[in-house]
């Protein structure tokens, strides 16, 4: 089947920390960590846990996070409490103060209309950061130590977090931490990001390096967050220039056009960059019917990215990321777990404790939506060709 790539088996390590299952960004927030628990329960219901090794995942330590993050920011993350006060005292006491706001964190505004804040302080925030980062670090170590061919952490993939602050629902950048771990074992690491948003935090962290290439596919234009990641954006002059590649698309792109970009561009990236390991951020907000994203990928089209990257047979780290229609997200990551293992799984969702969540997709893994509910495709054959040619031109300038 085209969605499974080659049939060769891989040693897959799977990291799931149940400690994230009850984490709550606050009422009405679109980011729901529980979707990872739903994915995990689906993976279990399909009988896939026995096909993977599950190694102990310990929460990361503050010292491990300090490998990338600013110590002052980490101290603040640890110190803030949801009621808007500090555990140990910091700046003024007007709730989540100026110091926090400067770091991108805000008191959750419970009352009033409109959308809430992107990065609220919630209960067990620090513990949550340690757990999802611990999973990505453990996964990177399994690949670095050669004990796994593919390592999975669906709770990771928080690509917007910066060295000194939170951004776009991301507080700690587990991807940067994992890549830094991989760099201890591999000469060159490729980062690929199919989340609907630009992977700006990871791109910025490795902007000056020619040992890490970052490639992001994302929705762009019309004020879509974060707004960066134009095709001309290849990084500052220096050794890392052209080691950042951006593939912006317009709303409504479907599987066929997406893969007219993804496959030729990624095949060329593999040729020119010759990575020794790959990190694939599998943000599921690029799926059709997402609450935030406006692309039209199916679960098969999304998984085709995973199987295409897998077919290069390099140590591969699979991470989660965005994804805001949570039954779609769980279906997507469960199916991609099957792709990682190299197993065919039936389309009928098995009966399990969470199957009610899949009622409005008729209990099918590969859900379908009515065309009238989908955003109009604003891409044209010409615009796709132009983006592919511009991306290829950038790649031809990469000299290592
Ligand atoms: C609380 C409650 C927060 C409801 C945030 C959508 C909400 C959004 C909410 C939301 C929302 C964004 C911005 C505007 C920047 C702001 C995990 C100038 C219905 C990786 C992050 C998107 C995506 C941030 C993260 C974006 C990821 N969109 N409802 N917030 N300000 N923020 O546009 O890449 O998926 O939307
Ligand atoms: Ca992206
Ligand atoms: Zn996203």
Q: Report pLDDT for 56.
A: 77
Catalytic annotation present for 328: no
What token pair was written down for 389? 């040619």
Q: In this structure, which residues have their CB less than 5 angstroms from ion ligand 2? A: 193, 195, 199, 216, 218
Q: Which of 70-84, 150-164, 292-306 has the lowest mean pLDDT?
A: 70-84
Residue 35 has pLDDT above 90, yes or no: yes
Residues 234 and 241: beta-carbon distance below 8 Å: yes
Q: Report pLDDT for 122.
A: 94
Helices (H), 239-321: 255-273, 299-310
Residue 241 has pLDDT above 70, yes or no: yes
Q: Measure the CA–CA gap between 76 and 281, rounded to whole angstroms.
A: 27
Q: Measure the CA–CA gap between 126 and 74, rounded to whole angstroms.
A: 9
29 within ligand 1 shell (Cβ under 6 A): yes
Q: Report pLDDT for 55.
A: 82
Question: DSSP class of residue 237?
Answer: S
What are the distances in angstroms from CA 5 to CA 71, 152, 339? 43, 18, 8
Residue 96 has pLDDT above 50, yes or no: yes
Q: Report pLDDT for 117.
A: 92
Residues 373 and 289: beta-carbon distance below 8 Å: yes
What interhelical angle do 381-396 and 255-273 show, nearest 10? 10
What pTM, to 2 d.p., does this model score?
0.96
Query: How many residues in the chain?
Result: 400
What proportion of the chain, given as a percentage, has pLDDT over 70? 94
Q: Report pLDDT for 102.
A: 84
Q: Kindly report the number of other CB atoms within 10 A of residue 389's CB atom.
A: 11
Averaged pLDDT for residues 171-197:
99
Residue 150's DSSP bridge partners are 12, 316
226 within ligand 1 shell (Cβ under 6 A): no
Q: Measure the CA–CA gap between 54 and 100, rounded to whole angstroms.
A: 37
Q: What is the residue with the minimal CA distance to atom 30 of ligand 1?
A: 118
30 within ligand 1 shell (Cβ under 6 A): yes
283 within ligand 1 shell (Cβ under 6 A): yes
Residue 85 has pLDDT above 80, yes or no: no
Averaged pLDDT for residues 96-106:
82
Residue 59 has pLDDT above 80, yes or no: yes
| Mean pLDDT for the chain overall | 94
Q: In this structure, which residues have their CB less than 5 angstroms from ion ligand 3? A: 195, 197, 283, 285, 322
Residue 83 has pLDDT above 80, yes or no: no
Report ipTM (2 d.p.): 0.99
Q: Report pLDDT for 3.
A: 44
Ligand 3: centre distance to CA 147 (Å): 30
Residue 18 has pLDDT above 50, yes or no: yes
Q: Which of 116, 292, 293, 326 for a ligand 1 pocket mutation test, highest count of atoms within 8 Å of Cβ?
A: 292
Q: Which residues contact 283 (CB under 8 A, 6 or more apart)?
A: 157, 159, 193, 194, 195, 196, 197, 320, 321, 322, 323
Q: Report pLDDT for 7.
A: 66
Averaged pLDDT for residues 268-276:
98
Catalytic residue among 29, 159, 160, 220: 160
Q: Report pLDDT for 112.
A: 46
Residue 236 has pLDDT above 80, yes or no: yes
Residue 319 has pLDDT above 80, yes or no: yes
293 within ligand 1 shell (Cβ under 6 A): no
Residue 89 has pLDDT above 70, yes or no: no
Averaged pLDDT for residues 335-356:
97
Helices (H), 46-124: 62-65, 71-79, 98-102
Residue 94 has pLDDT above 60, yes or no: no
Q: Measure the CA–CA gap between 227 and 247, rounded to whole angstroms.
A: 13
Q: What is the residue with the minimal CA distance to atom 6 of ligand 1?
A: 292
| Band (84; pLDDT cuts 50, 70, 90) | low
Averaged pLDDT for residues 249-268:
98
| Nearest atom (ligand 1) to Cα of 291 | 19
Q: Report pLDDT for 4.
A: 46
* Chain Cα centroid distance, residue 185: 22
Residue 90 has pLDDT above 90, yes or no: no
**Ligand nearest to the CA of residue 114, numbered in listed order:** 1
Averaged pLDDT for residues 56-70:
95
| Band (1; pLDDT cuts 50, 70, 90) | very low
Residue pointed to by tokens 């099918």: 364
Q: Report pLDDT for 8.
A: 81
Through-space distance between the first and last CA atoms of the chain, rounded to whole angstroms: 36
Q: Report pLDDT for 99.
A: 82
Q: What is the residue with the minimal CA distance to atom 23 of ligand 1?
A: 168
Q: What is the pLDDT of residues 362-376, one digit of tens each?
A: 999 999 999 998 999
Which has more pLDDT, 55 or 271?
A: 271
| Band (157; pLDDT cuts 50, 70, 90) | very high
Residue 100 has pLDDT above 50, yes or no: yes
Averaged pLDDT for residues 201-223:
98
Question: DSSP class of residue 208?
Answer: T
Q: Report pLDDT for 67.
A: 98
Q: Which of 20, 26, 30 for a ligand 1 pocket mutation test, highest count of atoms within 8 Å of Cβ?
A: 30
What proportion of the chain, given as a percentage, has pLDDT over 90? 87
| Band (91; pLDDT cuts 50, 70, 90) | low
Burial code (b: 16+ CB inside 10 Å, e: under 16) for 51-75 equals bbeebebebbeeebbeebbeeebbe
């Amino acid at each position: 089947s085209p969605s499974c790539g080659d049939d060769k088996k891989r040693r897959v390590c799977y990291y799931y920390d149940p400690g994230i299952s009850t984490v709550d960004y606050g009422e009405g927030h679109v980011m729901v960590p529980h979707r990872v628990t739903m994915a995990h329960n689906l993976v279990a219901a399909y009988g896939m846990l026995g096909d993977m090794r599950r190694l102990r995942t310990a929460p990361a330590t503050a010292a491990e996070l300090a490998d990338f993050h600013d110590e002052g920011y980490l101290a603040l993350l640890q110190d803030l409490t949801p009621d808007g006060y500090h555990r140990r005292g910091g700046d003024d006491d007007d709730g989540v103060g100026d110091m926090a706001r400067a770091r991108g964190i805000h008191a959750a505004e419970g009352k009033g209309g409109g959308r809430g804040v992107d990065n609220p302080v919630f209960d067990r925030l620090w513990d949550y950061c340690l757990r999802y980062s611990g999973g990505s670090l453990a996964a990177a170590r399994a690949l670095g130590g050669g004990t796994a061919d593919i390592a999975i952490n669906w709770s990771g993939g928080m690509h917007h977090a910066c060295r000194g602050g939170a951004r776009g629902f991301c507080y700690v950048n587990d991807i940067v931490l994992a890549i830094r771990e991989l760099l201890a074992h591999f000469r060159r690491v490729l980062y690929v990001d199919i989340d609907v948003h630009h992977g700006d935090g990871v791109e910025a962290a490795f902007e000056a390096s020619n040992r890490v290439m970052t490639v992001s596919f994302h929705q762009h234009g019309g004020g879509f967050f974060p707004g960066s990641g134009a095709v001309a954006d290849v990084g500052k002059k220096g050794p890392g220039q052209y080691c950042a590649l951006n593939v912006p698309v317009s709303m409504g792109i479907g599987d066929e056009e997406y893969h007219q970009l993804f496959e030729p561009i990624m095949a060329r990236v593999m040729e020119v960059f010759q990575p020794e390991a790959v990190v694939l951020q599998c943000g599921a907000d690029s799926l059709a019917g997402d609450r935030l994203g406006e692309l039209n990928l199916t679960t098969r089209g999304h998984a085709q990215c995973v199987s295409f990257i897998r077919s290069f047979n390099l140590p591969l780290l699979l991470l989660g990321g965005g994804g805001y229609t949570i039954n779609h997200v769980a279906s997507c990551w469960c199916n991609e777990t099957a792709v990682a293992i190299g197993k065919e799984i039936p389309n009928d969702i098995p009966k399990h404790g969470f199957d009610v969540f899949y009622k409005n997709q008729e209990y099918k893994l590969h859900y379908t939506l009515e065309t009238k509910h989908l955003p109009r495709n604003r891409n044209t054959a010409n615009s796709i060709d132009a983006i592919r040619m511009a991306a290829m031109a950038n790649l031809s300038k990469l000299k290592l």
